[in-house]
Amino acid sequence: MTGDKLLASSHYPDTQSVGGQINFTNLVEVCNLWRNYDDIDDSWYSVTTIANYFALKQDLWTKYAGPGHWNDPDMVR
């Protein structure tokens, strides 16, 4: 080991966003950040769909975000 710090990211929650159950307790133990949904497209439909999804899930996600691990909402493309 070199002692260098490493940032671990996961796309697992993003792939489960269509209806699967996400084990955030395990995720927090091994990752610093995790994607929550698909990329934003350049359309209002995309933006509102993602905003509505986040509104429905925010109570779940806020329990697991904290120092050293956080939600990674999106990458604008």
User: What was the pLDDT predicted at 58?
Assistant: 84
Cα-based distances in Å from 35 to 3, 4, 5, 52: 26, 24, 20, 16
pTM for the model: 0.65
Query: Which residue is associated with the tokens 């995720």?
Result: 27
55 CB neighbour count, 10 Å cutoff: 9
Q: Quick: pLDDT tens for 20-71.
A: 677 888 888 888 988 877 788 889 998 898 888 888 888 888 888 889 888 8
